[in-house]
C-alpha cells in the first residue's frame, strides 16, 4: 500500500484542534493498517518526524428508523483512527497550522 491509501483524511474535531500546538494530529486510516505503516505514511506525505502513533478501532453503531412498513435497522461502518505525535524538533504540518 502506498501512503495515500493508508491515510484517508484528517479528523477535525474540537479535541483534535486542541492538539495542534503540541504537534498531535488525528487521521482516519485504513482498517488493516498497522502503526509502522501509518508512521511511514505520515513521514512520507508530510515530510515530518513521527515520535509515536496511537490507534483506535471504532465500532459502528446501530441505527433504527421507524417507517410505514415497520422498523428498519441499519449499521454505520467501522473505522480506525490514528493519533500521531511528532517529535519536538520536527516541523509542524503546514495544512493544520493554516487552520489556527
Task: Give per-residue pLDDT as tens, 3-58.
Answer: 999 999 999 999 999 999 999 999 999 999 999 999 999 999 999 999 999 999 99
State the residue range of the domain holding 62. 3-97
pTM for the whole structure = 0.87
User: What is the average pLDDT value for the chain, to the nearest integer?
Assistant: 94
**DSSP letter assigned to residue 58:** E
Number of structural domains found in the chain: 1
pLDDT band at 94, cuts 50/70/90? confident
**Cβ(38)–Cβ(46) below 8 Å:** no
**CATH number for 82:** 3.30.70.330
- The CA distance from 77 to 93, in Å, is 29
- The CA distance from 4 to 1, in Å, is 8
Amino acid at each position: 500500500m502506498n501512503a495515500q491509501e493508508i491515510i484517508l483524511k484528517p479528523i477535525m474535531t474540537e479535541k483534535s484542534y486542541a492538539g495542534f500546538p503540541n504537534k498531535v494530529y488525528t487521521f482516519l486510516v485504513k482498517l488493516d493498517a498497522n502503526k509502522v505503516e501509518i508512521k511511514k505514511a505520515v513521514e512520507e506525505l508530510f515530510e515530518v518526524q513521527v515520535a509515536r502513533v496511537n490507534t483506535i478501532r471504532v465500532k459502528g453503531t446501530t441505527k433504527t428508523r421507524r417507517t410505514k412498513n415497520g422498523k428498519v435497522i441499519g449499521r454505520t461502518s467501522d473505522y480506525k483512527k490514528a493519533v500521531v505525535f511528532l517529535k519536538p524538533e520536527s516541523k509542524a504540518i503546514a495544512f493544520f497550522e493554516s487552520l489556527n
